[in-house]
């Protein structure tokens, strides 16, 4: 079998976009912007008679899966590895991934396929996830033959706490000369795993993707300072990153091919730090349907452009453009024809 240009490994999740009222918020305790819920709670929500599931959008999701799907729509040869149950949600996930052109390998578990509710509560979006079978993927499932021949291995940041699996993949990929792309995934992950992230950046060829909040959290954690940068505007975050954080990241990358550090600034574009240089690419802001999957789409486009030999600035420009397209749909529930123009750019 031909190996993938983009080999994506992570948590296969089905994103379920629903509108719920305050009664259900209280009933299921969906109180935080992002949280885990028990599987019995998730199953109960799926049976709620007050929710019109005929209008609910279900989209294959999870960070690495989103990168694989968007990469395939951009004309890249992509594969995805993960673990699901043997159930209806697994079928939905597999059908959408293969429909997008992704070679999908799903290890089967006795647990149920992971899902994440994207709950619209009077215009506020909250996420309640039950990863289920996704957590059962381990190092025995990823052999060297899976990685060999790939241009980039993409890791879902939410598997960072599975150290044996992550270290296994880094070691195998490094031995084969394949760089690993890691999305930090969340501020919580960054604060807990900062030392591991820095270690991976020192000893392995690494692309590190972070948003503004994750970048600021990494900065404070490394400096062992108190995180005082709360309640900031996007412009204020950008200023802190360019003024205070980029000089530190320049030192980390100076004189080296890796790491390549990419800071996603949403509607303000992106900053790339590599080889001791800083590349700033701006974009323009639109009113999003929601922001789910936009960062993953950026990663997919950026890495696809890099594999095709584009400059880092060109990679960031394409990342900004593709992310804007995803902002207009639920999650990554997008038709491939919307990305055909970008796929043509990558063929040049």
> For position 287, what pLDDT does the model report?
44
329 falls in which pLDDT band (50, 70, 90)? low
DSSP 327: T
pTM, 2 dp: 0.90
> For position 285, what pLDDT does the model report?
54
> Residue for token digits 């296969």?
12
Nearest to 270, CA basis, from 299, 290, 243, 292: 299
DSSP, collapsed to helix, strand or coil, labels residue 6 as: strand
202 falls in which pLDDT band (50, 70, 90)? very high
Rama region for 119: left / alpha / beta (φ>0; ψ in -120 to 50; rest): beta
> For position 286, what pLDDT does the model report?
46
Report the distance separating Cα 116 and Cα 99, nearest Å: 21
Question: Hey, how many other C-beta atoms are within 10 angstroms of the C-beta on 1?
Answer: 8
> For position 37, what pLDDT does the model report?
92
> For position 120, what pLDDT does the model report?
83
162: cis peptide before it, omega within 30°? no
CA separation, residue 243 to residues 122, 167, 237, 253, 317 (Å): 37, 33, 10, 17, 22
- For 132-157, write each residue's pLDDT tens digit: 999 999 999 999 999 999 999 999 98
Average the pLDDT over 315-328 and give the result: 85
114 falls in which pLDDT band (50, 70, 90)? very high
On average, the pLDDT of the chain sits at 88
- For 247-281, write each residue's pLDDT tens digit: 999 999 999 999 999 999 887 889 999 999 999 98
Q: How is residue 297 written in tokens?
A: 């789409």
Q: How is residue 27 written in tokens?
A: 């009933």
Average the pLDDT over 162-170 and give the result: 96
> For position 2, what pLDDT does the model report?
59
For the beta sheet containing 6-9, the strands, ordered from the edge strand earlier in sequence to the opposite edge, are 103-108, 78-84, 6-9, 152-155, 180-183, 206-211, 260-264, 270-274, 277-281
- For 298-321, write each residue's pLDDT tens digit: 999 999 999 999 999 999 999 988
DSSP 271-298: EEEETTEEEEE-------S--TTHHHHH
> For position 136, what pLDDT does the model report?
96
> For position 49, what pLDDT does the model report?
84
Average the pLDDT over 189-216 and give the result: 93
1 falls in which pLDDT band (50, 70, 90)? very low
> For position 233, what pLDDT does the model report?
86
Inform me whether the pLDDT recorded for 11 exceeds 70: yes
> For position 288, what pLDDT does the model report?
45
- For 214-236, write each residue's pLDDT tens digit: 999 999 998 876 665 667 888 89
Alpha helices in the chain (DSSP H): 22-28, 39-46, 63-73, 88-99, 144-147, 163-175, 187-203, 212-222, 234-240, 246-253, 294-307, 312-326, 340-347
> For position 291, what pLDDT does the model report?
57
CA separation, residue 181 to residues 7, 105, 254, 307 (Å): 10, 19, 19, 12
54 touches 98 (CB < 8 A): no
> For position 292, what pLDDT does the model report?
60
Report the distance separating Cα 42 and Cα 30, nearest Å: 11
H/E element, 311: none
Average the pLDDT over 157-185 and give the result: 94
> For position 289, what pLDDT does the model report?
45
């Amino acid at each position: 079998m031909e190996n993938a240009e983009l080999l994506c490994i992570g948590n296969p999740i089905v994103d379920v976009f629903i509108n719920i009222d305050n009664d259900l918020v209280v009933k299921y305790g969906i109180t935080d912007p992002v949280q885990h819920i028990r599987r019995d709670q998730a199953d109960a929500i799926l049976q709620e008679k007050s929710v019109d599931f005929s209008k609910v959008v279900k989209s294959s999701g999870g960070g690495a899966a989103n990168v694989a799907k968007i990469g395939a729509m951009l004309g890249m040869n992509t594969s995805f590895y993960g673990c699901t149950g043997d159930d209806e949600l697994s079928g939905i996930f597999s059908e959408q991934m293969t429909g997008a052109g992704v070679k999908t390998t799903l290890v089967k578990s006795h647990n149920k396929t992971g899902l994440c509710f994207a709950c619209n509560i009077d215009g506020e979006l909250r996420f309640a996830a039950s990863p289920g079978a996704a957590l059962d993927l381990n190092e025995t499932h990823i052999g060297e033959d899976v990685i060999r021949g790939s241009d980039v291995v993409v890791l879902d940041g939410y598997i960072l706490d599975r150290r044996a699996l992550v270290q296994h993949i880094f070691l195998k990929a490094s031995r084969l000369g394949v760089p690993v792309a890691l999305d930090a995934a969340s501020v919580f992950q960054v604060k807990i795993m900062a030392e591991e992230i820095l270690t991976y950046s020192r000893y392995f060829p690494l692309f590190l993707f972070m948003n503004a909040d994750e970048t600021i959290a990494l900065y404070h954690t490394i400096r062992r300072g108190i995180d005082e940068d709360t309640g900031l505007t996007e412009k204020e975050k950008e200023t802190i990153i360019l003024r205070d954080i980029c000089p530190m990241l320049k030192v980390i990358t100076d004189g080296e091919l890796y790491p390549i550090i990419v800071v996603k600034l949403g509607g303000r574009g992106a900053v790339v730090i590599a080889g001791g240089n800083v590349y700033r690419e701006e974009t323009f802001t639109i009113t999003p349907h929601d922001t789910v999957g936009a960062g993953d789409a950026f990663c997919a486009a950026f890495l696809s452009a890099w594999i095709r030999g584009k400059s880092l600035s060109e990679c960031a420009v394409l990342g900004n453009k593709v992310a804007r397209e995803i902002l207009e749909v639920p999650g990554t529930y997008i038709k491939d024809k919307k990305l055909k123009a970008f796929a043509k750019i990558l063929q040049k």
